Amino acid sequence: MIFDLFVFDFREFAGFTLKFMITLTYVLITRLFREILPLMLSLFYVHLCLILSRLIELCREQLSFITNSCNLQYAVPCFIRNYKTLHELTSLTESALSLQVFWLLVAHFVMVFLWLSAILGFYQHEGGALSTEMQMFAPIVGFSLFSILFFASRINKEDDELRLRVKDVAFELSLRTETMDSSKLLLRFIESKQQLVFTAWSVFHFRKSFLFVCAGVLISYNLLILQLNQHSSDEFLEKRGHLCV
């Protein structure tokens, strides 16, 4: 019946249809900016982290050929040039996205915290639509949050492994007199460069330890509130029992 009215008697529902389309467009646009765009930025940031991690791995693989290279005068400067370019690219990414990632993490953390609080019964939405939206997007936001923390911390991990490999190669080159200069050059170069580590506006430094700290804060805080809430409920029931007696 309703379908027939919409198809064959469209004029009666012209105002309703226009109002419905405007409302639908407004809801989609607001949800797009509030939910979808942050997830797209998270995906873009994770993709950049994967690219930089792969470039660090390639530089580390390049070190394996230096010790067996017959032309160290070419191999060592080639590695230095590649790592210098990688270092500049990482620094550019850090300066361009550090502030955006900070606010993105704050928004994601609040969303996940509210979701966990709702699961434990501390925070209830008044509207059913808002509750459904929370249940739909909160797991995705939580996955996005920990993906950013994990893949951004890999940059520092890969760079630490690269620096250890550089020191090993420099030590092997120092054992031979003819490659002593190349060994000193590698050590001076790697010590002149700061460690690669992504930050969120220099407030959070993405290392593996920060990933576990963030997970621990979310879990321990909600469990603490759960325990305190249970203790308060027990005291209330006990007082109520005394009053009844």
Average pLDDT over residues 217-221: 80
Residue the block writes with tokens 């361009």: 96
Quote the pLDDT of residue 129. Answer: 53
Q: What is the pLDDT of residues 19-36, one digit of tens each?
A: 778 877 877 777 777 788
pLDDT exceeds cutoff 80 at 189: yes
- Is 22 among the domain residues? no
238-243 average pLDDT score: 52
In a domain, 104, yes or no: yes
Domain-located, residue 140: yes
Query: Domain span at residue 176?
Result: 37-242
Report which of residues 227 and 242 the model is more confident about.
227
Task: Evaluate whether residue 204 is within a structural domain.
Answer: yes
State how many domains the chain has.
1
Confirm whether 15 is domain-assigned.
no
Predicted TM-score (pTM) of this structure: 0.82
Residue 25 is assigned to a structural domain of this protein: no
Residue 167 resides in a domain: yes
Q: What is the pLDDT of residues 108-137, one digit of tens each?
A: 998 888 888 777 766 655 555 556 667 778
Q: Does position 170 have pLDDT exceeding 80, yes or no?
A: yes
When the pLDDT of each residue in the chain is averaged and rounded to a whole number, the result is: 82
Long-range Cβ contact pairs of 67-72 (< 8 A, separation 24 or more): 67/169, 67/172, 67/173, 72/173, 72/179, 72/182
**Is 191 part of a structural domain of the chain?**
yes
Distance CA 166, CA 37 (A): 40
